[in-house]
Chains A and B, each alone.
Chain A
């Protein structure tokens, strides 16, 4: 039983790490903001859940498991919400594909009174 739990915990942790790294590659390599956001937003929730479940299986202490469960539930709420808010703010501010590649130093005028 113990070996089964250990192996499943390792599998969860490794899957989570793989998803994390794929999200990281996505944020570095994808061409524009919306695709980057898609890479991060999709992998982030699942990777967090995987790693936290792996830690839960790794640990027999009940109180620590409750805390991990709280973190898991909160990140399940928070990270999709943050992604949604970010995407809709970008949409609302007419942040379309065409002005995407402009660096923001050009988008903003230096403040001179």
Chain B
């Protein structure tokens, strides 16, 4: 039965992948990518990798779809017609692919007990992690305690990505020196761009009811990560997606009034600093970097405290970086729209010149 489900889900994945390659309409491609994310997450559930499925559900199917949508809204909806000959690229892809498949022939069979991954450190994680770390969810204890340094690297990467987006895309706020009618016109355009909520009474009410629940659920995922699937990454993404929902329905200017941009940037930095400082404190207490047993007299209590703190840091950084990226993209898009509605003729002229 389970192998049947696996086969069906994998066949779906292959079909969706071909459809994505074949389609020209990028909006449809994004929607199929959403289905792809949902499918691979259900596939992970069928494979018993619950934490991975959680991450894939919130990141692959949720956030990345939204970010790609914002990008598409800026760039246009259909693919460029391809003019060059694809044979060289096709040859490279086929050769690389066949080499990779040839490489997998040497790998141990799936689930084989002789595989190196099951010989090396995995037995220690499985057998000793309850005594050493005291957290029922082994994935969390590996991610946050045994491999804390790797996770620190991931958090720094996310932070760097957020800073990169901010440096590239952060827009100078619109000049406010226009006076009188002009300024009122610009404000009106803002209002029109942001006015989806005036057309959607039902959506507005249901969303208002849902958003507190989503926040609450994000906190549950954040703090329940020790006992079940979940943790800082997933919680941060869920938290950010609630803010996205608010910004999409009530408009960017309203969302900016609710969420202070500089506070969000500060929060991203504080998350990384919190994570790093836990490591430094354990270093100063005479243990290894990220050895949380130095944090308290009782080693298990120290581990719990350390995991709680670093998950909090991860959650802060992920949520605020996601919000930063979304706001930068959406701002860019709104500015582009204003340019377009103000100077649409100029754009057309330029296009004609080209």
Contact surface of A with B, Cβ cutoff 8 Å: 74, 77-78, 81, 84-85, 88, 92, 104-105, 108-113
Contact A92 B199, CB 8 Å, known A77-B209, A105-B24, A113-B354: yes
The answer to whether A111 touches B203 (Cβ under 8 A) is: no
Q: What's the Cα separation between A77 and B207 when bound, in Å?
A: 10
Q: Given the known A-B contacts A104-B25, A105-B25, are A111 and B206 also in contact in the complex, defined by CB atoms under 8 Å?
A: no
Inter-subunit contact B206/A81 (CB<8 Å): yes
Q: Are A77 and B210 in contact (CB under 8 A)?
A: yes
Give the contacting residue for A108; candidates B25, B80, B203, B206; CB below 8 A. B25
28 pairs of residues in contact across A and B, judged by CB atoms under 8 Å = A74-B210, A74-B213, A77-B206, A77-B210, A78-B206, A78-B210, A81-B203, A84-B202, A84-B203, A85-B202, A85-B203, A88-B200, A104-B25, A105-B24, A105-B25, A105-B78, A108-B25, A108-B78, A110-B78, A110-B81, A111-B75, A111-B76, A111-B77, A111-B78, A111-B80, A112-B80, A112-B81, A113-B354
Q: With the chains together, A85 CA to B75 CA distance in Å? A: 25
Query: In the complex the two chains form, what is the Cα distance from A101 to B280 in whole Å?
Result: 64
**C-alpha gap A74/B76 in the complex (Å):** 34
Indicate if the CB atoms of A104 and B28 lie closer than 8 Å.
yes
Q: Distance in Å from the Cβ of A90 to the closest Cβ of chain B?
A: 13
Annotate B73-101 by CB proximity to A: 1 below 8 A, 0 otherwise.
00111111100000000000000000000
A105 to chain B, nearest CB (A): 6
What are the 6 closest A-B residue pairs judged by CB atoms, nearest first?
A111-B76, A81-B206, A110-B78, A85-B203, A84-B202, A111-B78
- In the complex, whether B351 has a CB less than 8 A from a CB of chain A is yes
Give chain B interface residues in 204-221, CB to chain A under 8 Å: 206, 209-210, 213
| Interface of chain A, main secondary structure | helix
Instruction: With both chains docked as a complex, state the minimum distance between the C-beta of B208 and any C-beta of chain A, in angstroms.
Output: 11
Considering only residues 312-354 of chain B, those with a C-beta below 8 Å from chain A are 351, 354
- Given A78-B206, A81-B203, A110-B79, 18 more pairs with CB closer than 8 A: A77-B209, A77-B210, A78-B210, A81-B202, A84-B202, A84-B203, A88-B199, A92-B199, A104-B28, A105-B24, A110-B78, A110-B81, A111-B75, A111-B76, A111-B77, A111-B80, A112-B80, A113-B354
Query: Nearest chain B CB to A109's CB is how many angstroms away?
Result: 8
B20 CB, nearest partner CB in chain A, Å: 15
Measured CA separation A110–B354 after assembly (Å): 16
Query: Bound complex: CA of A88 vs CA of B201, how far in Å?
Result: 11
Q: Which residues of A contact B76 (CB under 8 A)?
A: 111
Cα-based distance from A34 to B351 in the complex (angstroms) = 38
Q: How far is the CA of A84 from the CA of B78 in the complex (A)?
A: 27
Cβ–Cβ < 8 Å partners of B25 in chain A:
104-105, 108
Q: Measured between alpha carbons, how far is A78 from B202 in the docked complex, in Å?
A: 11
B100 to chain A, nearest CB (A): 33
**Nearest B residue (CB) for A81:** B206
Cα-based distance from A109 to B202 in the complex (angstroms): 33
Distance between Cα atoms of A109 and B25 in the complex (Å): 10
Q: Name the A residues within 8 Å of B24 (CB-CB).
A: 105, 110
A110 contact set on B, CB distance < 8 A? 24, 78-81
Task: Name the residue on A nearest B199 (C-beta).
Answer: A92
Q: Chain B residues with Cβ under 8 A from A109's Cβ? A: 78
Q: Which residue of A lies closest to B80 (CB)?
A: A111
Q: Which residue of A lies closest to B203 (CB)?
A: A85
In the complex, which residues of chain A have a beta carbon less than 8 angstroms from the beta carbon of B351?
A: 113
Q: With A and B bound together, what is the CA distance between A111 and B81 in angstroms?
A: 9
- Please indicate the chain A residues that have their CB under 8 angstroms from the CB of B75 in the complex: 111
* Distance in angstroms between the alpha carbons of A74 and B25 in the assembled complex: 32
Q: How far, in Å, is B24 (CB) from chain A's closest CB?
A: 6
Q: How many Å lie between the Cα of A108 and that of B23 in the bound state?
A: 13
